Amino acid sequence: MTEVSMTVNGKSIARDVPDNTLLVEFLREHLRLTGTHVGCDTSQCGACVVHIDGKAVKSCTALAVQVSGSDVTTIEGVANGALHPMQKAFNDNHGLQCGFCTPGMIMSGIDMVSRFKAEGRDLTEQAIRHELEGNICRCTGYHNIVKSIQDAATKM
Amino acid sequence: MYETNYHKAKSLQDAAALLSQADDGAVLAGGQTLIPTLKQRLAAPSDLVDLADAGLAGIEEASGTLEIGAMTTHAEVAASEKVQKVIPGLACLAAGIGDPAVRHRGTIGGSLANNDPAADYPAAMLALAATIVTDQREIAAEDFFTGMFSTDLEEGEIIKSIRVSAPERGAYAKFPNPASRYAMAGVFVAKTASGVRVAVTGAGEDGVYRDAGIEAALTADFAPSAIDGLDVAADGMMSDIHGSAVYRAQLVKVMAKRATEAA
Amino acid sequence: MSDGIGARTKRKEDKRFTTGRGKYTDDVRMENQAYAAFVRSPHAHAEVAGIDAAKAEAMPGVIAVLNGAELTGDGIGNIICGWAITSKDGSPMNMGAWSALATQKVRYVGDAVAVVVAESVAEAQAAAEAVEVSYKELAAVTMSDAALETGAPEIHDNAPGNLIYDWEIGDVAATDAGLASASHVCEIDLTNNRLSPNPMEPRSAVAIFDEAEDHYTLYTTSQNPHVARLVLSAFYQVAPEHKLRVIAPDVGGGFGSKIYIYPEEIVCLWASMKTNRSVKWTSSRSEAFMTDAHGRDHVTTAKMGFDAEGKITGFKVDTIANFGAYMSLFSSAVPTYLYATLLSGQYDISNIHCNVRAVYTNTVPVDAYRGAGRPEASFVIERMLEVAAREMGMDPAELRRRNFVQSFPHQTPVIMAYDAGDFDGNMDKAQAAADVRGFAARKAEAASRGKLRGLGYACYIEACGIAPSAAVGSLGAGVGLWESAEVRVNPVGTIEILTGSHSHGQGHETTFAQVVADRFGLPVENIQIVHGDTDKVQFGMGTYGSRSGAVGISAIVKAMDKVEAKVKKIAAHQLEASEDDIVIEGGEVKIAGTDKKMGWHEIGLAAYTGHNLPDGMEPGLKEGAFYDPVNFTFPAGTYIAEVEVDPETGTVEICQFTAADDFGTLINPMIVEGQVHGGVAQGIGQALLEQVVYDDEGQLLTGSYMDYCMPRADDVPFYTIEHNSTVCPNNPLGIKGCGEAGAIGSPPAIINAITDAIGAEDLAMPATPQRVWAALQAAAPRMAAE
């Protein structure tokens, strides 16, 4: 057991957890933030993507103790009163069907748009598709996910 | 995941001490390979020693030589102006490892210590004749990689940094496994002061290796066309459900051409 | 009507999903939650010699370790296949016993032999590893053709030679005669690759036993909670229906794999009673690859004859279908009534014969996966037409057009009676949108870059809304295939629709509301769709086979007819007019041609206050309907794929994918197009990337995403979608269904495009870079010789 303290969605929290607790287990089971999902066990599907200190990370591939002291944002913390432009874009462009991969898609989408803007790079369709390598969707055929991110990129 | 004890090392010395005290300790770098392995219950280290706060991240440059801290992430290498200036092919390689979330946490030291036969970095290190600096010594890349998932690192030895110098020309081309996106054939081609060096990852049965045939061809003429007539042998190539040895040999040849073109 | 039928209304359900507030089964956690972990066979075929749980039982947190003998001892019944198929010699199918926990024998890697219930997932897993099972290994067989060979290991005692059934359809003599009269006969051998459905949400179950009430609740990842309750109750004797509530909350995709009732759900319910705890199990992805029902896995040879004008004279097909180790719920129907009955395709063919042999192997059970039988049929027909056209030197589109069914209704020789369609129109639209005329120039330009460009067609037809119940019953179905709905108008005029359809990505909460909004002129915000809970919804057959629109919505329409009739009676009474003069428009109930009217909410209030209703009328405004279709519906379309092959590596890039579909009436084109996108991507996955592989010992080689290749965003293009709707004459709104078409039509289109590009026909799915490159190497000497 180790005490883990971090800021999650703007709130300071502290919990004693076993050292082998994954960040995603910490979020889902200890904090009951169930918007972050687990879709695989090989760190490939991206349903569990959250932001740690502003960067997209797979929460299934980090221990809670490792990120103690960090600032974590989950899908539940993205909207600030109104929906985030990325969340709205997914609704506007039918970027989701069953919704299971959606939290990870939105977190990855926000990360890529912010990063490309900060680096002054052009987020082309091809770049979006390449950036989504670690996010698997089985429903949408990606068409409307790519459209959603393109749309949000013009509004973020 | 089995139970384990986590420690965050404050320094390299601290890490070495923690490791030596552990029954069966493991170094935790970015965790992008180790944690999936632990989750699958394929390993059960008694202790994990996290290097995140050990002061091993960062990139220095001095007269064409880069010193890359072991805990520098793939994303940092990819975005580094120093790397982009001195060895653009290395920045480009780092930008193609895994996916963005993996690149945010995975580190160069972790990747090298693991020496996955399909990882990208080993090809660059071998082709660029890099030096792997540990807490105990300096190891030439040539001596460092000793076969699949195996390196020259001693028990408890920790990678501190990687020293790598700019080639005259150099680039990496990778053909990813469609499923895992690891290299099915990744070729780093470098024209250095000491000659042409070509290193191949993802294809060889024993992990990363130098291809003497392609090196000879490119030494004669550093151009994609020099590889055209070459016969890359299937002997010693991996064969699995994704690609036969014959197909991997073909990919090595094509990736070598494409890397040369990009160099 | 801004949100009525045909509107691209944005989805009402999205907010909870985009903000992380969806409620999936694994998100449910009860007060007294315990966790299950299964002890699974590492062998594909073995006798279970003994189970020693002593060590596991002593481990921390362990509540119980339970096995198959205890399960059967408690009277839990075997898992069954619900569709009886009769072999051509009149004998019934050979269904082997399948216990939720194996007793004497295990038959595939992953077959469960025991379950550990513990205080935490980690403790359950640790104890499951400590259960000692002694196995006596037996030889295994994984390939369907090998399973039929003499001397192959036999998997079930009552299925000699591993044969489940040997079934046929059509007139063999007439078909042989048709082939004999042909001026050209085309012959092909095909494998339809085995796939893992892979909804992104892994299966999960939370079982809750209430000892005081002797009542069970099951939260589960199901496409059909009522069917689950029926089967759990009637066949597995877990609990009688009135003592079992099944809730399928938000479900993260299904694609068929969540139709079935799996061992884990049965065991969780039973273990909940045994331990008096709520028991939860959530599959890992690795477990999903090992235990979720797979799809496809056909080996087929086919012959088609053509006369001198290219008219089809006969079509003969022989298929072996791999069923895995046990017969899953609808497995038997997939390669028979959902496959062979579609072998006429879009074509006017007088003579068709198909023989199907279903076999056991030491692999996970195979059942319906998006398309279920129809993708396999479409692949055989559409590869055949393309290969034949090339052999005869004809334009593949022209050969298809010469054989298209031109008038409706059209009776095929394999049961189906097509009711409506416009096959030439679909082809016209697809060819225009794909700019087929410009293909030669694009091919030449690609060649200048060293790339091989190819174009391929597929003209698919499928059958949705499998029905009517009496007909499927006569063919062996164990259930009826109708749907039910209840329309509840509340006193304030808002509406709840209780439907037996289940939405797990299809957007029912929006489209179903649009249908109601359209009918009564109400805003969609005033309409709530209720589904997925056997305590709330009267009954339902669930969502699969693209049936929710054609069958589920039709049931809602029938119930709305009854509501409308009562509303008109109330309005006529209150407004002192004739019922015939009452119209419902824009949320108001009016006397036509006058300004006399009542608001919708006033009708609701009148119905529930009961102060002033016509004589003898019951108060309230709630109507239900059960809708049983009179026929299948027949969506059809033309798909055109254009690809570029890199001859150096064999990599295939899909440059353009065009779909022109006839789905009948579209409720929400945005959602329909989303269904096509997803279906096409799964078809691209089948054609290029996905395949389940077992080794000869029955070990699964594609047990994770490291080896099973899922389509990623950079594997697929933006798709071009066209609609060419003809109205389905057999249901109230003219809907045909759109859920599976994409997965049915796309694989042959892609393979036809690649084989066009490389000039070689011998190319198996998935057409991986290695296979394409190898096919090019095999073809190169031939091309050089030409």
Rounded to 10 degrees, the C-alpha dihedral B114/B119/B121/B126 comes to 90
Q: Do B178 and C709 touch (CB under 8 A)?
A: yes
- Taking only residues 714 to 733 of chain C, the set having a beta carbon closer than 8 angstroms to any beta carbon of chain B reads 715
B115-169 per-position pLDDT tens digit: 999 999 999 999 999 999 999 999 999 999 999 999 999 999 999 999 999 999 9
- C445 close to C452: Cβ distance less than 8 angstroms: no
- C694 close to C756: Cβ distance less than 8 angstroms: no
Alpha helices for C581-668 (secondary structure H): 600-609
Q: Which backbone phi and psi does B248 adopt, to 5 degrees?
A: -65, -40
The upper half-sphere exposure of residue C474, i.e. CA atoms within 13 Å in the direction of its Cβ, equals: 5
- Residues B28 and B43: their CA atoms lie apart, in Å, by 13
Strand order, beta sheet including B195-201:
B169-176, B183-192, B195-201, B209-210
- B129 close to B139: Cβ distance less than 8 angstroms: no
Interface contact B244, partner C, CB < 8 A: yes
- A41, A42, A134 member nearest B99 (Cβ): A134
Q: Which residues contact C616 (CB under 8 A, 6 or more apart)?
A: none
Q: Whole-model pTM above 0.80?
A: yes
Question: How close C503 comes to chain A (CA, Å)?
Answer: 8
Q: Which residues contact C565 (CB under 8 A, 6 or more apart)?
A: none
Task: Please tell me the total number of residues recorded for chain C in this structure.
Answer: 786
pLDDT at C786: 47
What chain C residue is nearest to B228 in terms of C-alpha separation? C648
Question: How close A27 comes to chain C (CA, Å)?
Answer: 12
Q: Do A35 and C22 touch (CB under 8 A)?
A: yes
- C629 close to C730: Cβ distance less than 8 angstroms: yes
- A43, A56, A66 member nearest B52 (Cβ): A66
Interface contact B102, partner C, CB < 8 A: no
Which residues in chain A touch residue C26, judged by CB atoms under 8 angstroms apart?
34, 38
Q: Best mutation site among A36, A66, A111, A121 for testing chain B: the one with the most B CBs within 10 Å?
A: A66
- In the predicted model, what is the mean pLDDT of chain A? 97
Smallest Cα–Cα separation from C61: which of C82, C84, C37, C45?
Answer: C37
The upper half-sphere exposure of residue B165, i.e. CA atoms within 13 Å in the direction of its Cβ, equals: 10
C-alpha gyration radius of chain C = 27
Question: How close A20 comes to chain B (CA, Å)?
Answer: 6
Q: Count of CB atoms within 10 A of residue C96's CB?
A: 20
Question: How close B243 comes to chain C (CA, Å)?
Answer: 6
Which residues in chain C touch residue A33, judged by CB atoms under 8 angstroms apart?
20
A49-104 per-position pLDDT tens digit: 999 999 999 999 999 999 999 999 999 999 988 999 999 999 999 999 999 999 99
Q: Indicate the DSSP class of residue C37.
A: E
Q: Indicate the DSSP class of residue C730.
A: T
- B8, B36, B52 member nearest A61 (Cβ): B36
- Which parts of chain C register pLDDT below 70? 1, 781-786
Q: How many CB pairs under 8 A join B and C?
A: 42
Q: Indicate the DSSP class of residue C317.
A: E
Q: Do A134 and B101 touch (CB under 8 A)?
A: yes
What are the b/e assignments for C574-585, b being 16+ CB within 10 Å?
bbebeeebbebe
Q: Do A143 and C13 touch (CB under 8 A)?
A: no
- B1, B41, B180 member nearest C706 (Cβ): B180
Q: Count of CB atoms within 10 A of residue C443's CB?
A: 18
- Residues B190 and C597: their CA atoms lie apart, in Å, by 84
Q: Do B41 and C710 touch (CB under 8 A)?
A: no
Q: How many CB pairs under 8 A join A and C?
A: 179
Question: How close A67 comes to chain B (CA, Å)?
Answer: 10
Interface contact C773, partner B, CB < 8 A: yes
- Residues C18 and A145: their CA atoms lie apart, in Å, by 12
- C518 close to C547: Cβ distance less than 8 angstroms: no
Neighbouring subunits of C (3+ Cβ pairs under 8 A):
A, B
What chain A residue is nearest to C249 in terms of C-alpha separation? A98
Which residues in chain C touch residue A40, judged by CB atoms under 8 angstroms apart?
285, 704-705
What are the b/e assignments for C744-761, b being 16+ CB within 10 Å?
bbbbbbbbbbbbbbbbbb
Q: Do B175 and C774 touch (CB under 8 A)?
A: no
- A47 close to A39: Cβ distance less than 8 angstroms: yes
DSSP per-residue string spanning A50-61: EEETTEEEEGGG
Q: Do C770 and B243 touch (CB under 8 A)?
A: yes
What chain B residue is nearest to C773 in terms of C-alpha separation? B247
pLDDT at C113: 98
Question: How close A150 comes to chain C (CA, Å)?
Answer: 13
Which residues in chain A touch residue C248, judged by CB atoms under 8 angstroms apart?
none
Helix (H) or strand (E) holding C382: helix C374-392
C447-500 per-position pLDDT tens digit: 999 999 999 999 999 999 888 898 889 999 988 899 999 999 999 999 999 999
Question: How close B35 comes to chain A (CA, Å)?
Answer: 6
Alpha helices for A56-101 (secondary structure H): 85-92
Task: Please tell me the total number of residues recorded for chain A in this structure.
Answer: 156
Residues of B with CB under 8 A from a CB of A: 1-6, 8, 28, 31-32, 35-36, 38-40, 48, 50, 52, 75, 79, 98-102, 104-105, 180-181
DSSP per-residue string spanning C344-360: TTTB--S-EEEEEEEE-
Q: Which backbone phi and psi does C210 adopt, to 5 degrees?
A: -105, 105
Q: What is the 3-state secondary structure (H, E, C) of C66-114?
A: EEHHHHHHCCCCCCCCCECCECCCCCECCCCCCCCCCCCEECCCCCEEE
Q: Which residues contact C502 (CB under 8 A, 6 or more apart)?
A: C222, C223, C224, C225, C248, C251, C508, C531, C532, C540, C542, C543, C548
- A42, A47, A96 member nearest C18 (Cβ): A96
- A41, A83, A94 member nearest C11 (Cβ): A94
- C10, C505, C716 member nearest A139 (Cβ): C505
Between vectors from CA C206 to CA C205 and to CA C211, what angle results, nearest 5°?
135
Interface contact C196, partner B, CB < 8 A: no
Longest C-alpha distance within chain C, in Å? 92
Q: How far is CA C243 from the centre of its chain?
A: 29
DSSP per-residue string spanning chain B: ----EEEE-SSHHHHHHHHHHSSSEEEESS-TTHHHHHHTTS---SEEEE-TTSS---EEEETTEEEEETT-BHHHHHH-HHHHHH-HHHHHHHHTSS-HHHHHH-BHHHHHHHT-TT-SHHHHHHHTT-EEEESS-EEEHHHHB-STT-BSPPTT--EEEEEEE--SEEEEEEEE-TTT-SEEEEEEEEEETTEEEEEEESSBTTSSEE-HHHHHHHHH--STHHHHT-----TTB--BTTB-HHHHHHHHHHHHHHHHHH-
C15-44 per-position pLDDT tens digit: 999 999 999 999 999 999 999 999 999 999
Which residues in chain A touch residue C25, judged by CB atoms under 8 angstroms apart?
none
Which residues in chain A touch residue C671, judged by CB atoms under 8 angstroms apart?
94
Q: Best mutation site among C649, C700, C765 for testing chain B: the one with the most B CBs within 10 Å?
A: C649
Q: Do A66 and B98 touch (CB under 8 A)?
A: no
What chain C residue is nearest to A106 in terms of C-alpha separation? C18
Q: Best mutation site among B241, B252, B258 for testing chain C: the one with the most C CBs within 10 Å?
A: B241
- C685 close to C710: Cβ distance less than 8 angstroms: yes
Alpha helices for C485-548 (secondary structure H): 508-520
Smallest Cα–Cα separation from B190: which of B213, B165, B226?
Answer: B165
Which residues in chain C touch residue A140, judged by CB atoms under 8 angstroms apart?
674, 677-678, 681
- C433 close to C658: Cβ distance less than 8 angstroms: yes
Q: Name residue B157's amino acid.
A: E
- Residues C348 and C410: their CA atoms lie apart, in Å, by 8
Between vectors from CA B27 to CA B22 and to CA B31, what angle results, nearest 5°?
135
Q: Do B40 and C286 touch (CB under 8 A)?
A: yes
Task: Please tell me the total number of residues recorded for chain B in this structure.
Answer: 263
- C340 close to C126: Cβ distance less than 8 angstroms: no
What chain A residue is nearest to B47 in terms of C-alpha separation? A19
Using DSSP bridges, classify how beta strands C46-52 and C105-106 pair: parallel, antiparallel or unpaired.
Answer: antiparallel
By CB neighbour count within 10 A (0-12 exposed, 13-18 middle, 19+ buried), where does A82 fall?
exposed
Q: Do B101 and A18 touch (CB under 8 A)?
A: no
Neighbouring subunits of B (3+ Cβ pairs under 8 A):
A, C
Interface contact B175, partner C, CB < 8 A: yes
Longest C-alpha distance within chain B, in Å? 56
B184-238 per-position pLDDT tens digit: 999 999 999 889 999 999 999 999 999 999 999 999 999 999 999 999 999 999 9
Q: Name residue C257's amino acid.
A: S
Q: Name residue C159's amino acid.
A: A
- A19, A62, A133 member nearest B99 (Cβ): A133
Q: Do A96 and C680 touch (CB under 8 A)?
A: no
